[in-house]
Amino acid sequence: MNVCEFLNAHYWPEHALTLKRASLDQLRWAVITFDRWLTRPSVVETDFDRLRLLTYLAARQQKVSPATVNKDRRSLLCLWRHAAELGMVAPPPKIPKAKCPQAVPHTFTHDELHRLLLATNEMHDRIWWRSLLLALLDTAARVSAMLAAKVEDVSFSNATIHLRPEHSKTMQGHLCAVSKTDTLPALAAQCLGREPSDLVWPWPRKTKRRLFTHFRELCEKAGVKLPRFKAFHSLRRTTATNVASDPQLGLLQASRLLQHSSIAVTSRYIDFDRVQASAVRICDRLPRP
Q: For 12-34, what is each residue's pLDDT tens digit?
A: 999 988 888 888 999 999 999 99
Cα distance between residue 73 and residue 208, in whole Å: 30
280 has pLDDT over 60: no
The whole-model pTM stands at 0.74
With beta carbons less than 8 A apart as the criterion, state whether 230 and 241 touch: no
Q: Can you say whether residue 31 is alpha, beta or left, with left for phi > 0 and alpha for psi between -120 and 50 degrees?
A: alpha
Q: For 90-111, what is each residue's pLDDT tens digit?
A: 999 999 999 887 778 889 999 9
Cα distance between residue 34 and residue 260, in whole Å: 31
H or E element at residue 177 = strand 174-177
Q: For 176-217, what is each residue's pLDDT tens digit?
A: 999 999 999 999 999 999 999 999 999 877 677 789 999 999
With beta carbons less than 8 A apart as the criterion, state whether 165 and 171 touch: yes
Q: What angle do CA 139, 142, 146 make, to 5 degrees?
A: 75
Edge to edge, the sheet with strand 174-177 lists 154-155, 160-163, 174-177
Please tell me the predicted confidence (pLDDT) of residue 262: 87
Question: Which residues have a Cβ under 8 Å from the Cβ of 273 and sit 6 or more positions away?
Answer: 104
With beta carbons less than 8 A apart as the criterion, state whether 72 and 30 touch: yes
CATH T-level fold of 110-277: hpI Integrase; Chain A (1.10.443)
Residue by residue, DSSP assigns 208-252 as: THHHHHHHHHHHHHHT----TT-STHHHHHHHHHHHHHSTTTHHH
Q: What angle do CA 37, 40, 42 make, to 5 degrees?
A: 85
Confidence of residue 285 (pLDDT cuts 50, 70, 90): low
